[in-house]
Amino acid sequence: MGWMTWQRFRCQIDCHNYPDDCISEKLIKRTANKLVLDGWRDLGYRYVIIDDCWPERKRDSKTNEIVADYKRFPNVSCYLLSFVCGA
């Protein structure tokens, strides 16, 4: 089982006006900690799914790849994955 950002936060990307409710690295880390501290991991919640609204609005101009919004996910690569997996 897992927890999905979309179910609670939809596509909230306005971190200026909604700093605690926007899809961001901060939210993912806070949620991963809560799943562990509140006992949800022990009940079978093993996944944190960043469903939507994590990328920039435009693809990388050179590779055409989807890229993370680095304002909201400054450490999106291995750091965030390691944090969630180690939580």
Q: How would DSSP label each residue in 17-72?
A: T-TTTSSSHHHHHHHHHHHHHTTTGGGT--EEE--SS-B-SS--TTT----B-TTT
Residue 77 confidence (pLDDT)? 67
Q: What is the pLDDT of residues 37-53, one digit of tens each?
A: 999 999 999 888 988 89
Residue 58 confidence (pLDDT)? 95
Q: Give the chain's residues under pLDDT 70.
A: 77-78, 87
Residue 87 confidence (pLDDT)? 57
